[in-house]
Chain A
Amino acid sequence: MVLATVFESGLSMEYYLILSSILFVIGVVGVLTRKNAIILLMCVELMLNAVNLLLVAFSNYHGKADAQIFVFFIMVVAAAEATVGLSILVLMYRNARSVDIGLFNKLKG
């Protein structure tokens, strides 16, 4: 409902598209350039939240609720993914004493 009033007050669709695209690109650039695995995880979360914003905006635009339900699914899955990811990070830290992905070079060829 809140979003609907915002739409009515004149904030057009494009702003949401541009904002979520910018958030998504920040996430992608972060994943591609940063070296710390925890920051990589945060950037992935940023990407997912950009998607959530986009879905809610489109849901409002189409006047349907299904995309908002999808957002709940994405949030649940993102939580599960963060859990698994952090436990893998702990495992990695125990073995390598670091979470810097630049040090991961045991596998190559």
Chain B
Amino acid sequence: MDALIVIFLSGLISLFIAFAKKPVLVLLTSTVGLLIAIALFIAQWNNPVTLFSYEGLEFTNTALLYSIAASIFALFSILIGYNSYKKQPEHTGEYIGLLMFSLVGAVCMLAFTDMFMFFLGLEILSLPIYVLAGTNKKDLRSSEASLKYFLMGAFATGVLLFGIAWTYGATGTFKIQEIGDFIYNNQNTGIAHSSILYVGVLLIMASFLFKVGAAPFHFWSPDVYEGSPNEVTGFMAAVVKLGAFGAFMKIFGIAFPDLHAFWAPALVIVALITIFLGNLSALNQIHFKRLLAYSSITHVGYALLAVLTLSSNSIENLWIYLFGYGFSIIALVAIAKLLNDDEDKISAFKGLAKRNPFLATVAVLALLSLAGVPPLIGFFGKYLVFADAFTQYPLIVIIALANSGIGIYYYLKTVINIFQKEEIEESKIEVPAIHIVVLSICAIAILVGGLVLSQYKLL
């Protein structure tokens, strides 16, 4: 709970310090705030704290684990924006402040115990990001991404609320634990299988699929990823996915596990379409961020398998998966930003191995981790999720594995670009010290994270 206040306050202070017109000071405030918050999250481990008299927020170990990951990725997203703050110092305060407020929403979304806090968390998470997507005010593409994201997000919110209302009508409560108990106690009677409840479950599921960007609700995500500034893309891919999947897992694992037979078939179809659609669309991409967006759709499809399985290990497996995914994607958007290519073509990576071996190494590691090459963290995440799902859904896991094979093609295409010689000799790339630190941490996490995390049982 303290951590939540620290994040909010450091966001607020960042807004005011911005009046001093020293971006470095704002950066320092937010970094210190986030580091304190992460330390406080770790200090709360094994010591569940509830917040508000009716226990709207509860920091269990699961919530803490996801919150720590979200805070780390938020910190990295702020740090890799360093170049833009130097270029446009006037809006640093608002930019960082909004990112911090968004993180507050993500933490609420991971620690909620009832639909109130979940809905509020979702909105606190989403509203700043609608604005952040349009940060490049003069750039039409950025405004377009912002508007598209806003309209789709507001629509998804409406659908979610309609679902919550029907669920409330059927069960008479907003607390997810009580909803779960209600369904468990009445599962042999018609009450737990009324069409009112089923409508609610389906609508809530549809809005989650919107938020995580699963097919057939994915159409906004490539546009928004491409149009937003790179740091915001990293934030959306890492933190928003963590928040949305954490909440997805929580609601469907606690409130609706006894309706698994009802919603699982729908989710199976969605997962399959998502995996195929993301992969096939990524094959022909020439824009790097679009490629990342379509690959993220595929990754959402894989992650949905963990939601489908709902075993005792699923939450932790999903966390490792998203943790590894976040490091890779933040490293890649940071590198793409340093390449300084407005067109955002994959061919901008040409000759990177010559121009800057450090960036090339990190990029290759991140891409291979996304492709799922052992012993990188992406492999472990995928392995754990797939192995867990295999007993229940063997056929789907085999299809997903085949799709991982397709995925390797477009990741390796970028890797080949990195090692290719470029026709025109270009100057070396300047890498700020902050980027070196962030990218080194990402590289280390990608390299050894999977090996270390798979040794321990965290939850």
Contacts and interface: CB of A to CB of B under 8 A. Distances in A.
Interface of A: 17, 24, 27-28, 31, 37, 40-41, 44, 47-48, 50-51, 54-55, 58, 61-62, 64, 66-67, 69-70, 73-74, 77, 80-81, 84-85, 87-89, 91-92, 95-96, 101, 104, 106-109
Interface size class of B (residues with CB under 8 A): 35 or more
A50 B162 contact: yes
Contact of B123 (A44, A62, A66, A77): A77
A62 B166 CA distance: 13
Contact of A88 (B150, B173, B222): B150
Contacts of B165: 51, 54-55, 58, 67
Contact of B127 (A62, A81, A106): A81
B147 A37 contact: yes
B131 interface: yes
Given A37-B151, A77-B120, A85-B151, 11 more contacts: A24-B162, A31-B155, A44-B158, A62-B172, A66-B174, A70-B116, A73-B116, A92-B146, A96-B140, A104-B144, A107-B141
Interface in B164-185: 164-166, 168-169, 172-174
18 contacts: A28-B155, A28-B158, A44-B154, A47-B159, A48-B158, A54-B165, A62-B172, A69-B116, A70-B115, A70-B119, A73-B116, A80-B123, A81-B127, A88-B130, A88-B131, A92-B146, A95-B139, A107-B227
Contacts of B223: 107-108
B143 A91 contact: yes
Given A31-B151, A92-B143, A104-B147, A109 B119 contact: no
Nearest to B225: A107
Nearest to B149: A88
Given A73-B119, A77-B119, A91-B143, A85 B137 contact: no
B162 A54 contact: yes
A101 B144 CA distance: 9
B231 interface: no
Nearest to A106: B141
A91 B134 CA distance: 8
Contacts of A62: 168-169, 172
A40 B318 CA distance: 35
B111 to A, nearest CB: 17
Contacts of B116: 69-70, 73
B161 interface: yes
Nearest to B139: A95
B161 A74 contact: yes
B161 A85 contact: no
Nearest to A53: B165
A84 B130 contact: yes
Contacts of B169: 17, 54, 58, 61-62
B341 to A, nearest CB: 16
A44 B123 CA distance: 15
B333 to A, nearest CB: 17
Contacts of B158: 24, 27-28, 44, 47-48, 51
Contact of A73 (B120, B140, B172): B120
A73 B158 CA distance: 13
Contacts of A66: 173-174
Contacts of B226: 107
Nearest to A51: B161
Contacts of A50: 162
Contact of A85 (B154, B159, B174): B154
B91 to A, nearest CB: 13
Nearest to B170: A58
Contacts of A106: 140-141, 144, 227
A64 B178 CA distance: 15
B193 interface: no
B148 interface: yes
B354 interface: no
Which 3 A-B residue pairs are closest in the complex by CB-CB distance?
Answer: A47-B158, A107-B223, A58-B169
A67 B168 contact: yes
B185 to A, nearest CB: 17
Interface in B284-326: 285-287, 290
Contacts of B138: 95
